[in-house]
């Protein structure tokens, strides 16, 4: 009788371990502590930097593997020069009226190192969607006064002309390749 009870208990334990649901943790991106920075070569001389101040969306951890749904408001472009910001919002560049946001939505992520993930997804900018794979690093995860928080950062290069933004490319006044750094901080929902 004891043997039957032990076998039954073993079967129950094996079944319950095999059917455990994965742990899903949703986080809201903190708009104050998240940013997207870009750098482009200007007139063949220096590197010019700008940023987007309005980064929103969600990060979902599923068994500690992240997925991302990020949106950036074009109107939040900031170069510390009002005239240049207006030009970047114009049809010559981002065309903020017709395309008010750019976005990234991940489709997969795999762990490739300690806190480092290869994240694949789709980026949409200037009305054009393209697949992209980036290396995303977890910059930290803490439990504090504001609750559970997590951070991620990535750095990659985009080719402007692939998104229909060719202003200045032929004349050499602006480079075609743009380096992008996206730093995200998010708070558990």
pLDDT tens for 114-130 read 999 999 999 999 999 99
Q: Is residue 17 part of a domain?
A: no
The 10s digit of each residue's pLDDT in 141-168 is: 999 888 999 999 999 999 999 999 999 9
What's the mean pLDDT in 67-79? 98
What's the mean pLDDT in 56-70? 96
What's the mean pLDDT in 13-41? 81
Structural domain that includes position 146: 22-188
Cα 160 from Cα 79, distance rounded (Å)? 18
The distance of Cα 21 from the centroid of its chain, to the nearest Å, equals 26
Determine the pLDDT at residue 20.
Answer: 54
Q: Is residue 98 part of a domain?
A: yes
Nearest CA to 131 out of 153, 152, 162, 100 is that of 162
- Contact (CB, 8 A) for 57 and 34: no
pTM: 0.85
Q: Is residue 85 part of a domain?
A: yes
Nearest CA to 137 out of 124, 119, 123, 122 is that of 119
Confidence band, pLDDT 50/70/90 cuts, at residue 53: very high
Cα 90 from Cα 115, distance rounded (Å)? 39
Q: Is residue 6 part of a domain?
A: no
Cα 87 from Cα 119, distance rounded (Å)? 32
Q: Is residue 78 part of a domain?
A: yes
CATH number for 66: 2.40.128.110
What are the E-state strand segments in 88-146?
A: 101-113, 116-125, 128-144
Total structural domains within the chain? 1
Determine the pLDDT at residue 15.
Answer: 47
Q: Is residue 109 part of a domain?
A: yes
Per-residue DSSP letter, 23: P
Determine the pLDDT at residue 21.
Answer: 64
Q: Is residue 12 part of a domain?
A: no
Q: Is residue 94 part of a domain?
A: yes
Burial class (CB in 10 A: 0-12, 13-18, 19+), 58: middle
Determine the pLDDT at residue 13.
Answer: 44
Q: Give the chain's mean pLDDT.
A: 91
């Amino acid at each position: 009788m004891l043997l039957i009870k032990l076998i039954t208990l073993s079967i129950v334990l094996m079944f319950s371990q095999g059917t455990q649901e994965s742990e899903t943790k949703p986080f809201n991106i903190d708009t104050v502590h998240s940013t997207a920075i870009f750098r482009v070569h200007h007139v063949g001389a220096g590197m010019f930097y700008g940023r987007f101040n309005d980064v929103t969306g969600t990060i979902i951890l599923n068994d500690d593997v992240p997925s991302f749904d990020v949106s950036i408001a074009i109107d939040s472009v900031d170069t510390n020069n009002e005239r240049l910001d207006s030009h970047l919002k114009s049809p010559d560049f981002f065309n903020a009226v017709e395309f008010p946001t750019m976005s990234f939505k991940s489709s997969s992520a795999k762990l490739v190192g300690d806190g480092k993930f290869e994240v694949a997804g789709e980026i949409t900018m200037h009305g054009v969607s393209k697949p992209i794979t980036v290396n995303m690093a977890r910059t930290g995860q803490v439990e504090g006064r504001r609750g559970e928080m997590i951070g991620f950062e990535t750095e990659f290069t985009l080719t402007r002309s692939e998104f229909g933004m060719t202003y200045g490319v032929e004349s050499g006044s602006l480079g075609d390749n743009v380096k992008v750094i996206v730093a995200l901080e998010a708070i558990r929902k």
